[in-house]
Structure 1
């Protein structure tokens, strides 16, 4: 037998047991629980049958998500303000006949920084065809990964393109790659690459315009020295912009087999 002890006014065990409400009474007193359960049912009903207001909120959020994705796709590789700051009438290095300019490269043509969405505007087709490259085009995912790395480099890649707005195709390209040096007081060295114009748009002074704008950009971003490599047939074109052949330097390439 167990000896129960109690103190003060506490009721003995049997008394407490006798004061307990019967099961049915307790069940009837669970109204808050039932209320919560009914509220949950009402919430589920509203979720399965969204009100017009909730539907508007949902579709608005979906639209904003699409807008944000499009905005990211249209983010330029460098700030367009750099081009806007160029006084082309005063700073251009070449002559044009008929006249064209940075802001007016030709009918339906627009000169601007490269955008991520330009992959879908034939950018890789331009590079492969205009630069006579035999490599296969990169996938859109590979393009995005490389574009993101270039964008994140913090001012190392200034890629300028020309778009035909009537066809939404990229028809011209120029790359300024800026290297950072430790020795020189002015620590940026520029290298111009991949001047390309799509066939069908050539002989319209567009390559000359791209070189002109890119050369001006070199000064804008603070390059102390600028170089490029080109074929013999286009040497006279680059000489118009002040480039010269340094016979004391030899361009040497590492054998590709050494990199495998």
Structure 2
């Protein structure tokens, strides 16, 4: 069995009896669709095309297998990265992924804030509700972990997708300073 980024029971114990949106057919972490498995990122996912999937979202750059494993180990050790993947087990390929990053705070009684990052569904798998399933899963996981707030960055073209889950424009201006592309 391959090393996982976090304990899979965190996903499989989530209560999907109520959801922010409707799934037709019904989906959940235990049943993401025929031939698919939802699970934490594994050390071996480099060979299953994880970085190729991410390249459909943004520039990945040159990352070899050794660098992947080193970054995996850093994320696992930090215990605040929850990278969830959906694998097409027939093809042994990662076809969807999203990350919940948990930030420990001193405010709100030393609470935690959740942040959704790097949500991507393979272009050949779009339309199968996998993006919805990943967002709903991370939303429920953030609540289970005790996050007081969950946020994300989104382009205007996908704003309506996230509004279905209850996300709204924040009261603060988002700004950034990039050091590298």
Structure-1-length-normalised TM-score: 0.66
Which one of 163, 175, 178 corresponds to residue 252 of structure 1?
Answer: 175
Which one of 50, 67, 74 corresponds to residue 123 of structure 1?
Answer: 50
What's 2:164 paired with? Answer: 240
Tell me, in whole angstroms, the C-alpha distance in 2 between the residues paired with 1:255 and 1:87: 38
Q: For each residue in 1:71-115, what CA deviation from the matched residue of structure 2 results, as whole angstroms up to 9, or x when unmatched?
A: 4xx11111111112112123x221012332222111100111110
Number of residue pairs aligned between Structure 1 and Structure 2: 180
Tell me, in whole angstroms, the C-alpha distance in 1 between the residues paired with 2:120 and 2:60: 16
Point out which structure has higher relative CO (alpha carbons under 8 A, 6+ apart): 2
**1:182, distance to aligned residue in structure 2 (A):** 1.6
Question: 1:1-260, aligned counterparts within 5 Å?
Answer: 71=1, 74-90=2-18, 92-129=19-56, 131=57, 133-153=58-78, 155-246=79-170, 248-256=171-179
Which one has the largest radius of gyration? 1
**1:185, distance to aligned residue in structure 2 (A):** 0.7
Whether the 8 Å contact between 1:80 and 1:113 is mirrored in structure 2 is: yes
Tell me, in whole angstroms, the C-alpha distance in 1 between the residues paired with 2:71 and 2:28: 30
**1:186, distance to aligned residue in structure 2 (A):** 4.4
Tell me, in whole angstroms, the C-alpha distance in 1 between the residues paired with 2:105 and 2:16: 29
After the TM superposition, list the runs of 4 or more consecutive aligned residues in structure 1 that deviate by more than 3 angstroms: none
Q: 1:108 to 1:236 in 2, by over 3 A?
A: same
Structure 2: state its 5+ residue gaps: none
- Relative to its length, the structure with more strand (as a share) is 2
- Relative to its length, the structure with more helix (as a share) is 1
CA RMSD of aligned residues (A): 1.4
